[in-house]
């Protein structure tokens, strides 16, 4: 298996923190000493990508599921119940509340969003899962339950709070 070797001039601690936030499946790296080289397996770098793909695929399987206030199952979802359910299927435990979910993970700017990131709106009263291309999937009370919307749509653009990478 290929290895990636990052030298002492690389911002290795920041790199480790980013990868840790992405949820790699086993310990990320070995720091030999402060400033020593960081060695990662390629599979460790790619695991965050495959996890993101799984999150998006799981979320898309539920397109059209009806909205249900307090819902957190395929019988019906509210926004935070949908995010909680999808992430639970990849081993991440989240509370059933958008504002509390915002306390998890690492802050991500709108420009740095990646598929699988959680996006938040309306004073932390609404959230969904970013799927790429400026779009996200979420459970919306009006509009048919689990749907895909665009971050550029007026309501979401003007009520943007932030994104989190779990």
Residue-wise pLDDT tens digits, 22-71: 333 323 333 333 333 333 344 434 467 899 999 999 999 999 999 999 99
Q: What is the dihedral of CA 166, 3, 14, 30, to 10 degrees?
A: 100
Q: Which residue has the tokens 């509340």?
A: 97
24, 62, 79, 104: the catalytic one is 79
Exposed, middle or buried: residue 104 (CB in 10 Å: 0-12, 13-18, 19+)? middle
Catalytic residue among 24, 96, 104, 126: 126
Q: How far apart are CA 35 and CA 92, in angstroms?
A: 31
Q: Spot the catalytic one: 24, 62, 96, 138.
A: 138
The verdict on whether 138 is a catalytic residue reads: yes
Candidate from 5-14, 107-116, 137-146, 152-161 with smallest mean pLDDT: 5-14
Whether 24 sits among the annotated catalytic residues: the reply is: no
Would you say residue 120 has pLDDT above 70? yes
Domain that holds residue 34: 3-165
Count of structural domains within the chain? 1
Residue 104 designated active-site: no
Q: For the chain, give the percent of residues with pLDDT over 70.
A: 72
pTM of the predicted model over 0.85: no
The CATH number assigned to the domain holding 158 equals 3.90.1720.10
| pLDDT tens digit sequence for 78-104 | 999 999 999 999 999 999 999 999 999
């Amino acid at each position: 298996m290929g290895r990636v070797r990052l030298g002492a001039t690389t911002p290795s601690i920041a790199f480790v923190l980013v990868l840790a936030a992405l949820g790699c499946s086993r310990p990320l790296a070995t720091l030999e000493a402060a400033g020593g080289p960081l060695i990662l397996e390629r599979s460790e770098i790619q695991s965050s990508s495959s996890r993101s793909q799984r999150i998006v695929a799981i979320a898309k399987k539920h397109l059209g599921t009806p909205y249900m206030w307090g819902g957190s199952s395929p019988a019906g979802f509210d926004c935070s119940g949908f995010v909680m359910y999808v992430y639970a299927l990849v081993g991440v435990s989240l509370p059933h509340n958008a504002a509390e979910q915002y306390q998890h993970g690492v802050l991500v700017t709108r420009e740095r969003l990646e598929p699988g990131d959680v996006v938040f709106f309306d004073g932390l009263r609404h959230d969904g899962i970013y799927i790429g291309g400026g779009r996200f999937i979420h459970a919306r009370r009006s509009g048919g339950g689990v749907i895909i919307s665009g971050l550029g749509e007026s309501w979401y653009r003007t009520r943007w709070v932030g994104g989190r990478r779990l």
